[in-house]
Amino acid sequence: MGDVVSSGSPLVVDGRDGAIFDTTRIDASARVCGKDGIHEWIDHRDVMSLLDAIVYIAEDHSRAIGLKHVRADEFWVPGHFPSAPILPGVLMVEAAAQLMNWMFNRKRGTKDLGAFLRINNCSFRNSVTIGDDLYVLAEEIRFGSRGFTARTQGIVRGQIAFSADLSGMVFRTL
C-alpha cells in the first residue's frame, strides 16, 4: 500500500533522528481510508475524531500512518495561543492513541473501545500549527488479547513533532 518513493516526501524525516520505521517508500498522498473507514473501527466522533485519513497500514497491521490536517476552525484554536495557535501536545498524543486503537482493532477484526492507560518516553520537539499536515506513525510493541502498546511519533514538515510509547486496554466491545 503506497510504495512510491517521492523526493521531498513529508514522511521522510530530516536530520539525525529518523522515523520509528522506514517511511522512504511510502506515498504520503495515498489513502487506505478516510474518516468513514476510521469510524468503522474506532468510536471517536465529532471534535474528538482527530485523524482525517489512514495513509498506510502494513499487511500484518503492525505499523500504520495516520494523517491529521490542522484546520483554523478546530475547537482549541481560539484558546491555545490565539495570536499564534499551536496544536496542543495532548491532542497529538490522543491522535496517536486513536491510530494505535484503530490498528489493534483492525488486526483483531473487532471494534473494541480502547481505554488509554499510559504514556511513556514522551517528548515534543516541534510545533504543529494551522495549515500543517501531521503524519502520525505507530508501530506495534505488543498487541495482546486485551492490551496493546505501540511506539508512536508525529512528523510535521519533515521534522519529528513528538514521540511517545502508548499503552491501552480493551474497555468494552462496541
Per residue, what are the HEC states of the chain? CCCCCCCCCCCCCCCCCCCCCCCCCCCCCCCCEEHHHHHCCCCCCHHHCCCCEEEEECCCCCEEEEEEECCCCCCCCCCCCCCCCCCCHHHHHHHHHHHHHHHHHHHHCCCEEEEEEEEEEEEECCCCCCCCEEEEEEEEEEECCCEEEEEEEEEECCEEEEEEEEEEEEEEEC
Termini Cα distance of the chain:
28
Which candidate in 44, 61, 69, 80 is catalytic?
80
Does the active-site annotation cover 80?
Answer: yes
Catalytic positions, written as ranges: 80
